[in-house]
């Protein structure tokens, strides 16, 4: 695995999602299923998309006591997803329990990555609401190192942080990065954005791309452009 474009399938329901995926006749892109689609359709949506031959990143961001996360991860592992995630804020003990739950009897498991601090959390809010006094970058790198120590495979981060994460956690530690826009595209509600080409240059391992593909006039063409710019 590594160096791939993941399409964020942020759709409200199955019909919309499947008619989008129907457009891809040749290739089977890696797709991300988030909370909205999963909570609307239940686990069957994962089985249905998997049955069509797509790799799946199930973006449910688990955060609970270690035992609950361990048991929930075992369920997700049996759903045969390829990648899933949790909040590093749940502590190293929670992340270790997650790895345990995720590991199948044959020793295989999906890739597990951590959310450090959500990009919607500002340094000011982190200080006032969470009582975390350190600078954002230090907190993000500390959480990334905790994830590595717990045995996780990488983190979700801004492409602009990918180089720093690699320098702290090693080149083989995955950086999965949203916030991608084409140079000539619309930024939408994202503020710190980067092109697929630039994300490649900084060292992202996976880019997560939603609207630049899902809202494009020709989604297959937009996906192919992303792959060409990012993977080469
Ligand atoms: O449409 P767009 O390309 O902005 O979609 C990006 C995807 O990545 C969305 O599913 C969004 O929720 C997710 N994401 C993000 N920023 C983060 C974490 C996740 O944009 N920090």
Give the domain ranges of the chain. 4-230
Asked: is 4-230 a CATH 3.40.50.20 domain? The reply is no
Nearest CA to ligand 1 atom 3: 210
**Residue 190 near ligand 1, beta carbon < 6 Å:** yes
Tell how far the Cα of 219 is from the centroid of ligand 1, in angstroms: 17
CA distances in angstroms from 226 to 24, 71, 161, listed in the order given: 14, 36, 20
Q: Nearest to residue 143, comparing CAs of 122, 181, 117?
A: 117
DSSP state of 63: -
**Per residue in 17-56, pLDDT tens?**
999 999 999 899 999 999 999 999 999 999 999 999 999 9
**Residue 8 near ligand 1, beta carbon < 6 Å:** yes
What pTM, to 2 d.p., does this model score? 0.96
**Per residue in 105-155, pLDDT tens?**
999 999 999 999 998 889 999 999 999 999 999 999 999 999 999 999 999
**Residue 159 near ligand 1, beta carbon < 6 Å:** no
For 41, half-sphere exposure in the C-beta direction (CA atoms, 13 angstrom radius) is 22
């Amino acid at each position: 695995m590594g160096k791939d474009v993941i399409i964020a399938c942020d759709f409200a329901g199955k019909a919309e999602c499947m008619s989008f995926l129907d457009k891809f006749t040749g290739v089977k892109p890696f797709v991300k299923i988030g909370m909205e689609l999963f909570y609307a359709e239940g686990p069957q949506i994962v089985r249905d998309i998997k049955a069509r031959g797509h790799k799946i990143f199930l973006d449910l961001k688990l955060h609970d006591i270690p035992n609950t996360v361990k048991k929930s991860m075992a369920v997700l592992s049996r759903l045969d997803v390829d990648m899933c995630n949790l909040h590093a804020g749940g502590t190293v003990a929670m992340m270790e329990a997650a790895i345990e739950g995720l590991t199948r009897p044959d020793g295989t498991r999906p890739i597990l990555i951590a959310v450090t601090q959500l990009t919607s959390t500002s340094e000011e809010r982190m200080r006032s609401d969470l009582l975390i006094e350190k600078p954002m970058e230090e907190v993000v790198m500390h959480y990334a190192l905790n994830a590595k120590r717990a045995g996780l495979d990488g983190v979700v981060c801004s492409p602009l942080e990918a180089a720093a994460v690699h320098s702290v956690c090693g080149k083989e530690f995955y950086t999965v990065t949203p916030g991608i826009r084409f140079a000539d595209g619309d930024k939408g509600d994202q503020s710190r954005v980067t092109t697929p080409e630039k994300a490649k240059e900084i060292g992202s391992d996976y880019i997560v791309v939603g609207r630049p593909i899902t809202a494009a006039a020709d989604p297959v063409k937009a996906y192919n452009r992303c792959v060409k710019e990012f993977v080469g």
